[in-house]
Structures are given as C-alpha cells and as structure tokens.
Amino acid sequence: MPLSPTNATPAPTHDLAVCYRIYPRVSGKPIFGFTDKLALVQLNLKCFKAAIGGLKVKMWVILDNCPPAYDELVKVLFPQTDVELILLKGEGNEATFSRQIEVLTRQTDAELVYFAEDDYLYLPNSIERAVSFLRQHTEADFVTLYDHADNHTKYIHRVKGAEFFEDGYSWHTSNSTCLTFMARKQALLETAEVFHTYRRKNSDLGIWLALTKVRAVNPWSFIRSLGDGLFFAASHVLAWRHGWRQLLFGKRRTLWVATPSLATHMETSGLAPGVAWENIVKADTNG
C-alpha cells in the first residue's frame, strides 16, 4: 500500500473554523441599554452557540486584556467544542483582526472560516444556514450574516446584483460589510494582504470596496457619497490607497448577504432592520 506524501495537507475535520475576538470594554452604545460587557458577551456567545446548530466547529478565542471571568465563560458555554484560548495583553482592534487572519489562514481544520466579534446577535441556526449557502454556491467567496441598515439607506450600498431566493431568504451580492464575516479559506488566503491593510488604517468599507470592485471605480459614487458622510467618500480613497493592486489586477470577489438579516451588530445605530431583535434578547436572557 503506497504511503501518503509527508507534506500532504490533512483532510478537513470540521465544518467551520472560527476565530473570535473579545475585548472587555463597552464601545459605542449597545442595544437595549447594555452597560456590562461581560453580560453582553454572554448573550453574544449564547446566540452564537445556537446559530451553529449541528455544525462541527473548531474555535480560537482571542481574549485581549480580559479578566479570568471571560475565559471561564467560554469554557462553560462551549464544554463540548474544540476551543483554543489566545490570551493577549491589550493589543487592540487592528492587531487582533490581523491575528484572526493569521489563525484562519494557517489552520487546516476546515475549508470554511468565520471572523467573529463579541458584539453581534445571531438568529438560531444562522451560521449553519451560511455554511449551507457557501457549500451550494461555489461562486461565492464571502458571506455576511449582517444586513446592515446602511445597505438600505446609503448610496454606496444601493447596487443591484445577483440574487437567489432560498428557504424564505433573499441571498444577494453586496459590495461591503463589517469585519464579522464568513469566507472560503482559499479566498481568504488569496486576499489576506488586502485585509491586513486594516492595520495600516484602511477602513472596513475600503477593504471591501477593493475586493468587490463595486463603486470604487466610479467617480460619481465618490461625489454622491459626500452627501452620506465623510466616511463613505473617504473609503473610496482608502480603497485605492491601500488596495490599488487588487483594484487594478486582482480578481473581483463576491460577497453575499441574506435578507432579512441573520445577525445584527449590537450597536444602537447599526441594528439590522426587519427582525424583532428584542425578542431574541428576551429569549436568551430568560433562557
């Protein structure tokens, strides 16, 4: 019987590899009056666990300057999950995102990967739905579960693209999301350089505009976006400053999102429309 090559890549053993990053301070204005970050993270993790459904998941959890109560919380909520804790001493937002990229590109446990942050709320089985979508649609590179309110109100996001209707949801292409998303590992490997520009002060919108190439090459989009706020216009500039190689020579990447939203940022100004999120909060806090 022939021996396998010693340098062969191990076969994936999990459905999804997740790298979570958790920071113990409250930022912005969390929904429904949350002031205790540990309580907010507990709600986030409980919802995420329900969102996984029946998937086999490998998790890395980055605890950036977190007290011991946070790693205990992870252990209590995920006793049967393959989890590794990464304890840091306050590296900050940009550095921990780069850590996520490194973890998820180097791992060999799964072909699909997920970037998770500690201030999102998920519908039950929503992660499982996103995994199913990527498995069925090989043309998709990235998926976001978060149908941001900006997708419906800001000029830069109002773009008509491809669309599928599946199981009561409209899955359609989008030109941008935040830094919580799902990806094929291969697509992440090929675009990691662009994502790493976040550490050089690129914006999340600038990164996605470079990857999807939607609106970034349209001068009118820059002018029109000035009316929506400096961030949106400036992100056109940042996309070119940090991602010009991708814009000029790179492959156009596809990012997909479901409507109604499968998740929301737990920030008052960023609540995804069309879902009674307060009912999800009540169900989890009373459960």
Q: What is the pTM of this model?
A: 0.94
Per-residue pLDDT at 5 exceeds 70: no
Instruction: Please state, in angstroms and rounded to a whole number, the distance separating the CA atoms of residues 131 and 134.
Output: 5
**Greater pLDDT, 217 or 104:** 104
Per-residue pLDDT at 9 exceeds 80: no
The whole-chain average pLDDT of the chain stands at 93
Question: In Å, what is the CA distance from 217 to each residue of 8, 177, 278?
Answer: 41, 18, 39
Task: Please report the pLDDT score of residue 30 as a whole number.
Answer: 85
- Which range of 79-88, 147-156, 275-284 scores highest in mean pLDDT? It is 79-88
Domains by residue range for the chain, with CATH = 16-286 (3.90.550)
- Residue 32 binned pLDDT confidence (cut-offs 50, 70, 90): confident
Report the DSSP beta bridge partners of residue 132: none
Instruction: Please state, in angstroms and rounded to a whole number, the distance separating the CA atoms of residues 21 and 27.
Output: 14
